[in-house]
Amino acid sequence: MNTKVYTADVSVLENKALFLHLYSRVSPERRAKTDRMVFIKDKLLSLGAGALLEAALSAEGVTDLTFTTEHNKKPRLADRDDIRFNISHSGTKVMCAVSDHDIGCDVEKISDIDMEIAKRFFFAEEYTALKSCADKTERNDLFFRYWTLKESFMKVTGLGFELSLDDFCIMLGDKSISVRQSVDSRRYCFREYCTGDGYRYAVCSADKQEIPDKMISYKF
């Protein structure tokens, strides 16, 4: 199957009728997870992320939405080893990637950053690149480029935050992105998306080099 990347905006779910309609259609597990959220912002993101994932899997012919977890607690379909997925959310955006290879994705809303966070958690070369930015706007954007690319890599490995942010280095070339790492011997491919909406999006694929150059915009 071809890798597909989806994104959606959950702000429309502030409409109570639409929220309840979508809530009635998702799996019982997703409804329970949404119910556990205290704040409405988190309820919208939980419901939206789950609904986007279910729509993406349905497009691949998946009818049994029974999930399990791998040894690293990364979720997967119980009876479909041929389909992998990952979800992310930030602000009002949700993101989902599906593939037949291990896949990781991340979305982050661009905001003002604290350079102490970068100094503490980023690889030295990444921190140096941030310090060399001309102004705050450029620095904020570069920080979230690094963050989304790094988190997508951490997620595709299955290690998540068990892998320290400064254990590997994202290398930004003029026409390519690569990672210097010692986690394993697999080849990793990256794709990032800047849509001008105030967010940064990134996808990392293991072993498979085809990642679409555009995301699919999904409407609830």
Query: How does pLDDT run across 192-206, given as a tens digit for each residue?
Result: 998 999 999 999 999
Of all residues in the chain, what percent carry a pLDDT higher than 70?
99
- Region 124-147: mean pLDDT is 95
Full residue range of the structural domain in which residue 142 is found: 4-217
Residue 106, pLDDT > 70, answer yes
- Region 73-99: mean pLDDT is 92
Cα–Cα distance measured from residue 211 to residue 107, given in angstroms and rounded to the nearest whole number: 16
Query: How does pLDDT run across 26-43, given as a tens digit for each residue?
Result: 999 999 999 999 999 999
In CATH, what number is assigned to the domain containing residue 134?
3.90.470.20
Residue 34 has a pLDDT of 97
**Encoded amino acid at 130, one letter:** L
Residue 70 has a pLDDT of 74
Domain count, the chain: 1
Cα–Cα distance measured from residue 33 to residue 37, given in angstroms and rounded to the nearest whole number: 7
CB atoms within 10 A of CB 133: 14
Confidence label for 160 from pLDDT (cuts 50, 70 and 90): confident
Exposed/middle/buried for residue 180 (C-beta within 10 Å: 0-12, 13-18, 19+): exposed
